[in-house]
Amino acid sequence: MKALFHAEKAGIEGLSYGDLPECVPGPGEVRVKLKTAGLNHRDLFTLNRHQPTDPPLIIGSDGAGIIEAVGDGVTGVTIGDEVIINPGLGWKELSDAPPEGFEIVGLPDHGTFAEKIIVPAENAVAKPAHLSWEEAGVLSLAALTAYRALFTRGKLQSGMKVLVPGIGGGVATFLLQFALAAGADVYVTSRSEEKRSKALDLGARMAIDSSENWEQALGGVKMDLVIESVGAATINQSLKQLRKGGTIVTFGSSTGDMVNLNLREFFYGQFNLLGSTMGSAEEFEEMIQFISKHEIKPVMDQMYSLDQYQEAFQRLDEAKQLGKIGFYIEE
């Protein structure tokens, strides 16, 4: 089968598009013939986490397709079902943190950038009827991350004021859409005028130029909740926008892992700082119900054929995307 896999060299130079053997599903597993797949920042990180001395690895965490084979003991899904892949492996019930052994499709096991993938049957979830194949293929990782950050960790309620710094990427656009659907007032920031304009079109209350003074732009309005995925470059700005007793949920650090934090301001402000990553299978099911109820669709950036991976990865690496980048999977 055709696949995009990483081997022999670190970084994007180790990627190759070619043929790899097709596998047979084992007990409790299904084989999905993929129609589309989605690109995430995780895929960029995987290119350095997967070692050149390791066996070839098919990368990719998001995908959607049709079940074409089932292993022994599989119930609940059948050949011909249209499904999306829940990329979380081994995190079934809602919990404070992932259990030991939790992994994500695409590392260390083969991922979705291939004609076919084998996953546990429970990770093949019925595709929401309102989504196209393009939309379904890019949904899972970003939408689940956004859902847990907002609802499980952030305890989002209707009427809350929410700030999303760095609007434009897949998770950030889901954060905006989910929070709006839940009845929140959403404020965003971005360096890009195009991305700010798109956020306003989607329903954001205000879109701030990241280079502005955020406090002045907000005119004294304080946030109940900030979902922070940018990291060192914005977290102190984000803290300044919180009301006393407000909450920051963080799941990303694209601008660096280490930050300077004024502890006295933090504890005088009675702030809450919470970490979040991905989500459980229970939260995945809740997220699917939520997007189906509100008929939420991913904001789509561009679709590529899998052999155009270099263009797609470059677009993501340079943060040019507005929404989700996806792949058509072709035989």
pLDDT at 254 > cutoff 80: no
Structural domains of the chain, count: 2
Residue 134 is part of a domain; what is its CATH number?
3.90.180.10
pLDDT over 90 percentage in the chain? 93
Q: How far is CA 166 from CA 91, 142, 209, 235, 236, in A?
A: 28, 15, 10, 11, 14
State whether 158 and 262 are in the same domain: yes
pLDDT number for residue 331: 55
Name every residue whose Cβ is closer than 8 Å to that of residue 293 and which is 6 or more positions away in sequence.
none
Tokens of 62: 């998001």
**Phi and psi of 97, rounded to 5°?**
-155, 160
3-state SS class at 276 = coil
Tokens of 100: 């030991």
State whether 317 and 252 are in the same domain: no
- According to DSSP, residue 203 is labeled T
pLDDT at 255 > cutoff 80: no
Residue 252 lies in a domain: yes
At 310, is the pLDDT very low, low, confident or very high (cuts 50, 70, 90)? very high
At 258, is the pLDDT very low, low, confident or very high (cuts 50, 70, 90)? confident
**Phi and psi of 195, rounded to 5°?**
-70, -35
pLDDT at 204 > cutoff 80: yes
Write the single-letter amino acid at 249.
Answer: V
Q: Domain span at residue 231?
A: 144-275
State whether 152 and 269 are in the same domain: yes
Residue 153 lies in a domain: yes
Name every residue whose Cβ is closer than 8 Å to that of residue 264 and which is 6 or more positions away in sequence.
none
pLDDT at 233 > cutoff 90: no
Q: How far apart are CA 280 and CA 284, in angstroms?
A: 6
State whether 112 and 195 are in the same domain: no
State whether 10 and 118 are in the same domain: yes
Q: How far apart are CA 283 and CA 279, in angstroms?
A: 6
pLDDT number for residue 198: 95
pLDDT at 269 > cutoff 90: yes
State whether 135 and 152 are in the same domain: no
Residue 249 lies in a domain: yes
pLDDT number for residue 231: 85
- Summarised one tens digit per residue, pLDDT across range 125-144 is 999 999 999 999 999 999 99
Residue 6 lies in a domain: yes
Residue 286 lies in a domain: no
DSSP codes of every residue in 69-88: EE-TT--S--TT-EEEE--E
Residue 97 lies in a domain: yes
Mean pLDDT across the stretch 10-36?
A: 95
Residue 35 lies in a domain: yes
Q: How far apart are CA 236 and CA 98, in angstroms?
A: 27
Angle between helices 281-294 and 140-147 (to 10 degrees): 100
- Summarised one tens digit per residue, pLDDT across range 81-123 is 999 999 999 999 999 999 999 999 999 999 999 999 999 999 9
pLDDT at 68 > cutoff 60: yes
Average pLDDT over the chain, rounded to whole? 96
Q: Cβ atoms within 10 A of the Cβ of 317, count?
A: 12
